Structures are given as structure tokens and as C-alpha cells.
């Protein structure tokens, strides 16, 4: 089910007003802003909702490569917190968890509805009579 979980959330909420008014974003260079957005997208698509602590991976995902240490680390220091399993942008994680919970509830409700429809069809014998 890993691929289903990853593809389940193909969009990520983006709050333009918050981005434009963020002191962190304002302090970043354009290159850092792009890298930050790429890292947020990677966190969003991660199965566990976290980035790895692995700097070579972060350098690749942010497309900063050898500039990671000077350009990328300040992004992590300013916008992410360390958790036991990795790095997390708290707001992105909160949104991810909320959408994941809503998706689970919607799926459970749909399964109940589908099961009821199956029972209803089976109970009528499927003969179409009436």
C-alpha cells in the first residue's frame, strides 16, 4: 500500500498570504525559497510526513548539491524541527496529519456505504422485479 498512500495526497495546501508575509521566507534568497518549497513538497509526499536527517538526500532533493551546507542548512535550522524519525516543518506536518485523518474518515464512511449497497442489492435478489 505504500504507493497508494503516497499518491493519495497529490496536492498540498499553499497559503499565499502566509508565504508572502513569512519572516523566514522574506529572509531567504530566491534560491533558498525554491529549495524550501522543494523540501516542503518532499515532506508532504513522504510516507511518514517527515524529511530524513540525511544531508546528501536533502542536498539532492533541494537541488542545492554542493551548496547545501551554506545555503540549505539555514533553511532547516529556521523552518524545521528535529523529531525522532526525521525533520519536520510543524505547519506542513499539521496540515498533512489533518488531511490524512480526513481521508481515513472519508474512506471508512465510503466503505460502510458500499457495504450497505452490497447488502441492499443482495437482499433484493438482483431480479429487478417490483
CA end-to-end distance (rounded Å), the chain: 42
Q: Whole-model pTM?
A: 0.74
Q: What is the pLDDT of residue 3?
A: 43
DSSP H or E run through 6: helix 2-7
Q: Which of 43, 21, 18 is nearest to 93 (CA)?
A: 43
Mean pLDDT of 37-51: 92
Task: In whole angstroms, give the CA distance from residue 86 to residue 102.
Answer: 24
What confidence tens digit (pLDDT) does each residue in 54-93 have?
Answer: 999 999 999 999 999 999 999 999 999 999 889 999 998 8
What are the extents of the domains in the chain? 14-90
pLDDT over 70 at 44, yes or no: yes
Amino acid at each position: 500500500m505504500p504507493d497508494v498512500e503516497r499518491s493519495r495526497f497529490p496536492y498540498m495546501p499553499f497559503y499565499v498570504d502566509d508565504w508572502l508575509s513569512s519572516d523566514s521566507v522574506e529572509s531567504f534568497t530566491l534560491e533558498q525559497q525554491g529549495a524550501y518549497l522543494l523540501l516542503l513538497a518532499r515532506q508532504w509526499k513522504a510516507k511518514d510526513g517527515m524529511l530524513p536527517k540525511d544531508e546528501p538526500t536533502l542536498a539532492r532533493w533541494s537541488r542545492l548539491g554542493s551548496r547545501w551546507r551554506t545555503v540549505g542548512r539555514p533553511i532547516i535550522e529556521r523552518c524545521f524541527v528535529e523529531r525522532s524519525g526525521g525533520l519536520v516543518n510543524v505547519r506542513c506536518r499539521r496540515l498533512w496529519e489533518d488531511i490524512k485523518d480526513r481521508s481515513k474518515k472519508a474512506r471508512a464512511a465510503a466503505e460502510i456505504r458500499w457495504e450497505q449497497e452490497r447488502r441492499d442489492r443482495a437482499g433484493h435478489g438482483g431480479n429487478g422485479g417490483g
